Amino acid sequence: MTTLGEFQNASFEMKCDWVTANSIFLAVRSAGESKVYLYRGEDYFIEVYYSPTYRKILMISAFNSNSGLNPYIDEISLADLGL
């Protein structure tokens, strides 16, 4: 998978495998009872929604708009970036 469309059309299992092998972890945030992990794909971002209560991935979504990154702004610290 190299494009956003290919990723979005892939099966859940293929998405899990691709994220594990080919993406770069960027950040994590809370969303209710879930944790949302942000990864960088080829030229898009991937969110993995995980339930600590049930210990399973609930959903995987991908996007390429900068507005999709807004929920992570509060989680980013300049200290984390070495600035």
Give the per-residue pLDDT at 11: 96
Give the per-residue pLDDT at 82: 56
- The answer to whether the CB of 7 falls within 8 A of the CB of 41 is yes
Ramachandran area for residue 82 (φ above 0: left; ψ -120 to 50: alpha; else beta): left
- What pTM was computed for the model? 0.86
How far is 61 from 81, CA to CA, in rounded Å?
25
Give the per-residue pLDDT at 83: 45
Beta pairing partners, 46: 39, 62
